[in-house]
Amino acid sequence: MSAGTRHHRSELQAIARRAMRERGLEPDFSPAVLTETGAISGPAEERDSAIRDLRHLPWASIDNDDSRDLDQLSVAAPAGGDAVTILVAVADVDAVVRKGSAIDGHAQMNTTSVYTAAEVFPMLPEKLSTDLTSLGEGEERLALVVATTIGPDGAVTDGDVYRARVVNHAKLAYDAVAAWLAGRAPVPPRVAAVPGLDAQLRLQDRVAQAMKELRHHRGALSLATLEPRAVFDGDVLTDLLPDEQNRARELIEDFMITANSVTAKFLEARGFPALRRVLRSPERWERIVALAVDLGERLPPAPDARALEAFLEAQRRADPGRFPDLSLSVVKLLGSGEYVLDPPGGTADGHFGLAVRDYTHSTAPNRRFPDLITQRLLKAALTGGPAPYSDAELAALARHCTEAEDNAAKVERQVRKSAAALFLASRIGERFDAIVTGAGVKGTWVRVLRPHVEGKVVRGVEGLDVGDRVRVELVRTDVERGFIDFARAA
């Protein structure tokens, strides 16, 4: 099928399904999963006296405009003096998806929802993830609440986890909330419709800004990569636009990082194992040092998160237009995160990029299987019951989740490249400014600056390394394989 047809979405869907199967992921739910899902008639209902009733609090979700698989809500409450308690409610998916069920088996196999340019392949059936286990607006749901007390300097002073009943009083979108918080747009209608929600969100934003400043002071990395998002008019691909960070996204990001850290510490304090998410010291620190030298800066010879963050922040201020390109180079050089077992009394590595020692994934159980595992561990810790997984099982799951999540990322990347090849198919011979994003025995890759697409340099790679800027000419595209080939231009 040529790039000139008007069935771009279906072409990309077919590529996505094939890529998933090639990577050991299943795009469709089995008959057993569908049968189990059909027998679920409503959301979970439990009347345990330990479950707190927090439905009256002004909970709200902030997510993408079109998201329906809502995993978290947040609310802030004064905690005495200048301290504030941030409550993050996480959907109690385990209350519906039982361990060992067919639904759980599919989730364990894929381990994550796969978000491709043409289609989302959810980890859980949409009847659950976008309805019965989603924290949808106006719906009463069970949740695990992570309560974190934050001092005026952004530091965590206390943390707790408990079960509760909650109601989402407003489904909000990142872009609209961010524009309002920044003073570029009026208050979103859903915010105005809930009494006191505007002040509530401004309080959350103030706390998040303090938390963010402290995290970066401690060495959390300021990175701003631009991933292209396919834009369709019906089924026709019309553009590739980057999703950019904004204040509302950062607010949720800061709350989720803190909730994940509190969760890890909660399990550790109760003598429970955990599935930690770690990012070890950079695999190619020496190349990061070389990038800094090329920009007139110096980094220490050994990996140092605070020094790297200071360098990144200086570069963001000096050249904001090029900062996403530098960010992408650093991300490539940092290496990949992974899941590891942290047994009771263990000393798992921390997360270099976030500058935290204690970190797990717990806030997206509709979308990630490690979060569902963590939820089950938390519920066992709360009741004093045995851990639902042995250490050996958790170690095996950590390896599997790391591999499957990497495969899902490769599928998403492959479909993005196919969409980019489709978009560029009519522009053979054009020249573009680019930055080198990968260089090794498997080849050299560059990212074009406008539009934001990535491809392989097939001629003229001599002397190129990650972070170099180069002029390239488009010589070939292959939509089916997601290939975009460039030659170094004179």
- Model confidence pLDDT, tens digit, residues 237-265: 888 887 777 899 999 999 999 999 999 99
Please write the tens of the pLDDT for every residue from 425-458. Answer: 989 999 999 988 888 888 999 988 778 888 999 9
CB 371 within 8 A of CB 361: yes
Residue range 8-42, pLDDT digits in tens: 899 999 999 999 999 999 999 999 999 999 999 99
β-pair partners for 120: 115
Residue type at position 421: A
Full 3-state SS string of the chain: CCCCCCCHHHHHHHHHHHHHHHCCCCCCCCHHHHHHHHHCCCCCCCCCCCCEECCCCCCEEEECCCCCCCCEEEEEEECCCCCEEEEEEEECHHHCCCCCCHHHHHHHHHCECEECCCCEECCCCHHHHHHHCCCCECCEEEEEEEEEEECCCCCEEEEEEEEEEEEECCEEEHHHHHHHHCCCCCCCHHHHCCCCHHHHHHHHHHHHHHHHHHHHHCCCCCCCCCEEEEEEECCEEEEEEEECCCHHHHHHHHHHHHHHHHHHHHHHHCCCCEEEEEECCCCCHHHHHHHHHHCCCCCCCCCCHHHHHHHHHHHHHHCCCCHHHHHHHHHHHHCCCEEEEECCCCCCCCECCCCECCCECCCCCCCEHHHHHHHHHHHHHHHCCCCCCCHHHHHHHHHHHHHHHHHHHHHHHHHHHHHHHHHHHHHCCCEEEEEEEEEECCEEEEEECCCCEEEEEEECCCCCCCCCEEEEEEEEEECCCCEEEEEECC
Please give the structure tokens belonging to residue 373: 């595992």
- Distance between CA 83 and CA 157 in Å, rounded? 9
User: Is the predicted pLDDT of residue 1 greater than 50, yes or no?
Assistant: no
Q: Are 280 and 339 in contact (CB under 8 A)?
A: no
Distance separating alpha carbons of residues 31 and 26, to the nearest angstrom = 13
Report the DSSP beta bridge partners of residue 356. Answer: 351
* 130 compared with 329, residue with greater pLDDT: 130
Neighbours of 240 (CB within 10 A): 20
**CB contact at 8 A, 196 and 137:** no
Mean pLDDT, the chain, as a whole number?
93
CA-angle at 424, arms to 408 and 26, nearest 5°: 20
Q: How confident is the model at residue 340 (pLDDT cuts 50, 70, 90)?
A: very high
Largest Cα–Cα separation, the chain? 73
Determine the Cα–Cα distance for residues 308 and 326; give it in Å rounded to an integer. 12
Q: Is the pLDDT of residue 6 over 70?
A: no
With 90 as the cut, is the pLDDT of residue 50 above it?
Answer: yes
Residue 47, pLDDT > 60, answer: yes
Q: Which one, of 50, 142, 72, 40, lies nearest residue 385 by Cα?
A: 50
Q: Tell how strand 114-115 and strand 84-91 pair up.
A: unpaired
Report yes or no: 64 and 174 within 8 Å, Cβ to Cβ. yes
Sign (positive/negative) of CA torsion 455, 459, 463, 468?
Answer: negative
Q: What is the pLDDT of residue 102?
A: 98
pTM listed for this prediction: 0.90
Buried b (16+ CB within 10 A) or exposed e, 249-284: bbbbbbbbbbbbbbbbbbbbeeebbbbbbbbbebeb
Q: Are 339 and 370 in contact (CB under 8 A)?
A: yes
- Provide the pLDDT confidence category of residue 3 given band limits of 50, 70 and 90: very low
**What is the pLDDT averaged over residues 168-188?**
96
How confident is the model over 77-106, as a mean pLDDT?
A: 96
User: Strands 61-63 and 431-440, how do they pair?
Assistant: unpaired
Determine contact, residues 232/9, Cβ cutoff 8 Å: yes
pLDDT digits (tens, 9 = 90+) for 295-317: 999 999 999 999 999 999 999 99
